[in-house]
Amino acid sequence: MLEAGLALRPVRSTPAGTDRRGAARRALPEDLLRQASRRLGILALVAASLWLIAPLAGHAAALALGDPRWAQLDFADHVSAFSCAVSIALVLYVRSSTRSPVFILDLGLAYLVLTALELSIMMHWSPIPEDWKLNPMISWIGPVMLMFAAIVPVAPRKMLVAGFITASMEPVGMWVSGLAGHHPFGSLGDGLVMHYPNYLLLGVTVVISHVVTRLGQQVASARELGSYRLGELLGRGGMGEVYTATHRMLARTAAIKLIRPEMIGAVDSARAELAIKRFRREAEAAANLRSPHTVELYDFGIAEDRTLYFVMELLDGLDLETLVQQFGPVPADRAVYILVQACASLAEAHARGLVHRDIKPANIHLGRMGLEHDFVKVLDFGLVKSVTGNVAESRETAAGIAPGTPAYMAPEMALGDSVDGRADLYALGCVAYWLVTGRLVFEAASPLQVIARHLNEVPVPPSARTQQDIPPALDRLILSCLAKKPEQRPASADELASALRAVPVREAWTEAKAARWWSTNRPAARHENRGVRGHAVATAVVPGNS
């Protein structure tokens, strides 16, 4: 593992290996560019609306004034129709294109130039009064350039070139109109004199573009946490945020979870120091877990503003909550296959004296790992608690945050009693119940009512709440995990795994079955838009509020 406790860089500092000039040339983060391309689509949609509404409003005004030509279509109407079609085409392309955001933003610059040409032709094509004089003016093109630069981040050099061509569309339009005999313009020079204010606005446009891109570069710089550079925001929860990240030296993709200082009880200096020491001990304990079914913790550290961060492996797939919500309850053989792997993760943690305390479907990830399918990873050991005496209490308890999730909380946790690994087995029994029925063990209107039912009521057997075929042995095993007293549950995760393997199912779930399922149901799962998002949501959940 990389060196723990590495301090994050403050926003004002320059990342290692670069100078100020290097920081200025830093590429904008991918998620900011993607957001900018979406804003370009919105801008084009607004333009399409204006190209449609303006001519209609003009004809309506002509009708109101009694102009008999109100129903006639002129050249400007045709230009508006063409411009509206181009704008709509750009909107559809932005929404459906798989091209890089950089290409889409470059396409936006071409759209800006084309829009300027259309505006210029419309303005100068109509005949002018005989007493018309050549006077400098600001046309629509100037404000359009300013709006584009403020909304869409473009490199200043690109904006300078594209903006100069855009501003030059007015003289070009005047010249074309003059050649067509519509305007008595003598030369391009007349157009430059008339529209030189647009060139002045071009200077303002480049300044705005520089400011906007510089802000994005500062975001990129601020996102460099230790040896990692943050990428796209994947999820946000009550405890913090989760981003994609890349190691600057190894080019290894990971996920980084940031935890806000106040969520670990850092309300004053003394409590902050205590919470940070506890965080180090607990993070080191979680980092030492080596089960292949436990999400791997690459690194962790503490920022200068006391923000905590975990660097974890990036996963491809979905969590069990999403699995059941999207595809319904799983058959008994698959449920056994999944639960046995989860037991392997918990068995190692319990052997090291660690209790997860927040086992739930959203914290168990199912995906593809190498050539294997339906590979389980237990997530979010952020609530992990040592029961060996090395750690007195968890940081969440110290901060006054109730650990765990009510729908999956063991009675002893709800009562505040001491807990051991059997509390995780209770929660895993709740997960098993969810897997085979698609229902919670107990449902109620409020979290407190859910906890009360866990404390006092006997659960209905899973087989009574589903049409699926559940072997009696699995039914009994799930209910044994849900026993109110810890001593009445399986003694360990290993014992539970052995009992699960002994459950007689009609046909065992195999790798071949899993591969077919993934090929049919999730053939295009990708890090950037599917599995990772499930992982991010799972690791950014507010304990006790899920």
CB of 147 within 8 A of CB of 199?
A: no
Q: How do beta strands 224-225 and 228-236 pair?
A: antiparallel
Burial per residue of 115-135, b for 16 or more beta-carbon CB atoms within 10 angstroms, e otherwise: bbbbbbbbbbbeeeeeeeeee
DSSP-derived letter for residue 250 is: T
> Which phi and psi (to 5°) does residue 255 adopt?
-120, 135
Instruction: Return the H-helix or E-strand segment holding 220.
Output: helix 196-222
**Residue 316 bears catalytic tag:** no
Question: CB-side exposure of 447: number of CA atoms within 13 Å?
Answer: 12
- DSSP-derived letter for residue 294 is B
d(CA 153, CA 130): 44
- DSSP states along 332-375: HHHHHHHHHHHHHHHHHHHHTTEE-----GGGEEEEEETTEEEE
For β-strands 297-302 and 317-319, DSSP reports them as: unpaired
Laid out side by side, the sheet with 224-225 consists of 224-225, 228-236, 240-247, 253-259, 308-313, 297-302
- Residue 525 to residue 475: CA distance in whole angstroms: 33
Angstrom distance (rounded) from CA 156 to CA 8: 30
531: number of Cβ within 10 Å: 23
Q: What are residue 535's phi and psi, to 5 degrees?
A: -65, -45
Q: How would you label 36-61 residue by residue, b for 16+ Cβ within 10 Å and e otherwise?
A: bbebbbebbbebbeebbeebeeebee
* Number of helices (H), then strands (E), in the chain: 19, 11
Instruction: Name the one residue in this structure whose structure tokens are 């698959």.
Output: 334
Structure tokens at 521: 């149901």
Find the length of the chain. 546
Distance CA 546, CA 540 (A): 10
Of the candidates 299, 316, 319, 358, the residue annotated as catalytic is: 358
Cβ-Cβ contacts under 8 Å for 134 (sequence gap 6 or more): 190, 193, 194
Which of 502, 481, 546 minimizes the C-alpha distance to 319? 546
By annotation, the residues acting in catalysis are 358
